[in-house]
Amino acid sequence: MEKDSGREFMEKTKHKNLGISDQQMHLPQPPLSWQAEPVNPKIELPHPGSLAIDPVDIRVLISQRSSLREYADKPLNLGELSHLLWCTQGVKMVYDQQMTLRTVPSAGARHALETVLLVNRVDELEPGLYRYLALNHQLELISTLSDLAGRFAAACFGQRFIMRSAVTFLWVAVPYRMTWRYQERGYRYLHLDVGHVCQNLYLAAEAIGAGVCAVAAFDDDALNTLLCLDAEEAFVIYLAAVGKKPVK
């Protein structure tokens, strides 16, 4: 890696270096979400409010939260997965197809992330790759190829707990959804936004007796290839494995 490339990025994306954005030039804004493929099966998720969760003090959740790499064999159920997806990217309101308000903050309400799931053990779901259709609170089945978990673990430099997780969240950044308004500075906001999302996942998982381990060590090109992404238009920015806590 070229020395000082990080500092150069921070310098070049300072607010003082902003020019005229595509939004200011009245160019059409990008879609709020990727379109689902009509041929792919869709799975309705339970309403997130239907999951009974014992009340817990937020300070307790924060105190108990820690990264977990060992998981019980017990699967998540579909209601629990719905809860986790809602807490991380749930849409509370859509404003005239111009922006969404969600359960996490985002710069300018741009919400330039898509959620892909590597499912290993979730009741009522076949192991495979799914995409969260946040606007409809549905899942879209993408692939059930064999050994997907092994391929994704290999792309994360052999972090095998990904193979033992109930589900691994992969967040994909769609940069133009952000840079349309904020130009190159938008790349900063992508990283900030996904941090908000991942912390929500940690706390939401803690509330259902599950644990999370965020993953930032991965081969960018390998993961993008596994998801058939053109990195100029979209790229994996962060991952997090989730599973039920083992019985002590």
Tell me the pLDDT tens digit for each residue of 201-241: 999 999 999 999 999 999 999 999 999 999 999 999 999 99
Residue 5: per-residue pLDDT: 94
**pTM for the full predicted model:** 0.97
Q: What is the CATH number of the domain that holds 212?
A: 3.40.109.10
202's enclosing H/E stretch is helix 186-206
Instruction: Tell whether 136 is covered by a domain.
Output: yes
Q: Which of 99, 141, 97, 92 is nearest to 116 (CA)?
A: 141
Residue 64: per-residue pLDDT: 92
Place 12 in a pLDDT band, splitting at 50, 70 and 90: very high
Instruction: Tell whether 170 is covered by a domain.
Output: yes
Instruction: Tell whether 17 is covered by a domain.
Output: no
Instruction: Tell whether 129 is covered by a domain.
Output: yes
Instruction: Tell whether 47 is covered by a domain.
Output: yes
Instruction: Tell whether 153 is covered by a domain.
Output: yes
Q: Alpha-carbon distance 221 to 79, whole Å?
A: 33
- The answer for residues whose C-beta is within 8 angstroms of residue 223's C-beta and 6 or more apart is 152, 155, 156, 170, 236, 239
Instruction: Tell whether 25 is covered by a domain.
Output: no
Structure tokens at 143: 């692939």
Assess whether pLDDT exceeds 90 at residue 97: no
- The answer for residues whose C-beta is within 8 angstroms of residue 49's C-beta and 6 or more apart is none
Tell me the pLDDT tens digit for each residue of 140-180: 999 999 999 999 999 999 999 999 999 999 999 999 999 99
Domain that holds residue 115: 40-244
Residue 96: per-residue pLDDT: 87
Instruction: Tell whether 152 is covered by a domain.
Output: yes
Structural domains of the chain, count: 1
Q: How far is CA 36 from the centre of its chain?
A: 17
Tell me the pLDDT tens digit for each residue of 21-62: 999 999 999 999 999 999 999 999 999 999 999 998 999 999
Structure tokens at 100: 């969404």
